[in-house]
Amino acid sequence: MNFGKNDLLVLIREGRPMTLRQQLLLTVQLSIPAMVAQLSSIVMQYIDAAMVGSLGANASASIGLVSTSTWLFSGLCSAASTGFAVQVAHCIGGGKFKEARQVLRQSLVAVSLFSILLASIGMGISGALPYWLGGEEVINHDASVYFLIYAAFLPMMQLCFLTGGMLRCSGNMRVPSMLNVLMCMLDVVFNYFLIFPSRHISLFGMEVFMPGAGWGVAGAALGTGLAELVVAGLMLWFLVTRSSELGLMHEKGRFRPTSAVLKKAARIGGPMGIEHAVICGAQILTTVIVAPLGVFAIAANSFAITAESLCYMPGYGIADAATTLVGQSMGAGRRDLTRRFARITVGMGMTVMGIMGVIMYVAAPLIIGTMTPDAEVLELGVMALRIEAFAEPMFAAAIVAYGVFVGAGSTIIPCLMNFFSIWAVRLTLAASLAPSMGLKGVWLAMCIELCFRGFIFLVRLERGKWMNLK
């Protein structure tokens, strides 16, 4: 008998037995759209980097300088959304659809207010941020403008995170995936007209005038923001009007957040937000370590981080599937199924990212070469990617296991594990190796730390205490 994704999710909610084949099939059905969504997201960053990279090393370095700060703010938005989305997954797993819709209503108000606060803070510090990070005068102005525009669109990013997370936790991976692909395509179009100046291009043997704003780095930020604006509107429309589990059009309810829902969101998302702040603080400190190595090192570091994301984003897609599967299994009170889905998703993640690591090692010159024509930046970027390729399977273990723990609502201990691994292992090694080994030392430290992190996450996964959360 052929089972669709929704049929298999019903088996979880109704407490019916599932064969190993059905568990694997459901994991794949949820993982593939989630991986496509994650890949499209990083492809959008890759496109930005490639388009801006054609303007020169300074333009690339200006974005690279503030990239860790943008991750900090986006991570906080993601944590806020997850605090509510996991509650929805538990409600749906337990068949409590009305309660799930109540959480959704309240989350729309809560995260909107939170993202407006974040946007205000980001815009307020945008002028001083590059100087705090130790950037050179030649790149600081563009870096400030880029971060200002990025911060202004944070409410749209927050809405994308929330609506996409809600749909995924309900079991709908396809719509967020399709809309993320659309966002990637829109980003290309907007960037094309906003980054570059008006010019004549050759099209089918004819010279055609192509209008353009010529805003460079600022155009890249604005193009991404506009793409987020369009997709956030479409995602919200689908969630509210078309979702069979979470649609709000035919049912009245309260939008004012209650203390009970906010407390649960804070318990789940709060540690994640703190963790993102701490980890991104470490990444910002890494940028401070890299900055004295020069513009070429900053640009190469930024390109390598973006390129590596192509390798590990499938892991985050599988982690999204793990959060949904574990969340609904926990909500249904099925401890045995929870453990099996945890092992299946982590094993799948390690396999996929291990293969991606091999591809990344071989294709490193091609990948970095598409983002920069500068020979020195290319050499440094290839070196960084090839070091990192060896860490990908264990990095996958940490990523997907974290998604498992989030689905269970257990976030405090994993956050502490990430904090210890990055601050005690990565930064200590990077600070000691960078003076003598340069950028190579920074990435060697990262590789060692990711392997260590994957190991401790696997240990916690197998001990199983994360399933005891009430």
pLDDT tens digits for 35-68? 776 677 667 666 776 777 777 778 878 887 888 7
Q: Which of 84-98, 188-202, 270-284, 352-366 is the least confident region?
A: 270-284
Task: Say whether 206 sits in a helix, a strand or coil.
Answer: strand
CA distance 150 to 440: 30
Compute the C-alpha angle 53/58/61, nearest 5°. Answer: 75
User: What pLDDT digit, counting tens, does each position of 66-114 carry?
Assistant: 887 888 898 889 889 989 998 998 898 888 899 999 999 999 999 999 9
- Length of the chain measured in residues: 470
Range of the domain at 94: 5-13+20-468
pLDDT at 181 over 90: no
DSSP 117: H
pLDDT at 1 over 60: no
Reported as type and span, the H/E element at residue 208 is strand 206-213
Q: What is the pLDDT of residue 115?
A: 96
Residue with structure tokens 């002028």?
127
Q: Which of 62-71, 106-115, 187-196, 382-391 is the least confident region?
A: 62-71
Q: Which of 100-109, 121-130, 178-187, 276-285 is the least confident region?
A: 276-285
Q: What is the pLDDT of residue 208?
A: 83
Reported as type and span, the H/E element at residue 212 is strand 206-213
Tokens describing residue 303: 């390109």
Report if pTM > 0.85.
no
> Measured between alpha carbons, how far is residue 409 from residues 84, 323, 327, 468 in Å?
11, 9, 8, 10
Q: What is the pLDDT of residue 148?
A: 97
Task: Say whether 201 sits in a helix, a strand or coil.
Answer: strand
- Residue of higher predicted confidence among 202 and 76: 76
Which among 401, 394, 393, 406 is positioned nearest to 463, based on CA atoms? 401
Task: Report the number of distinct structural domains present in the chain.
Answer: 1
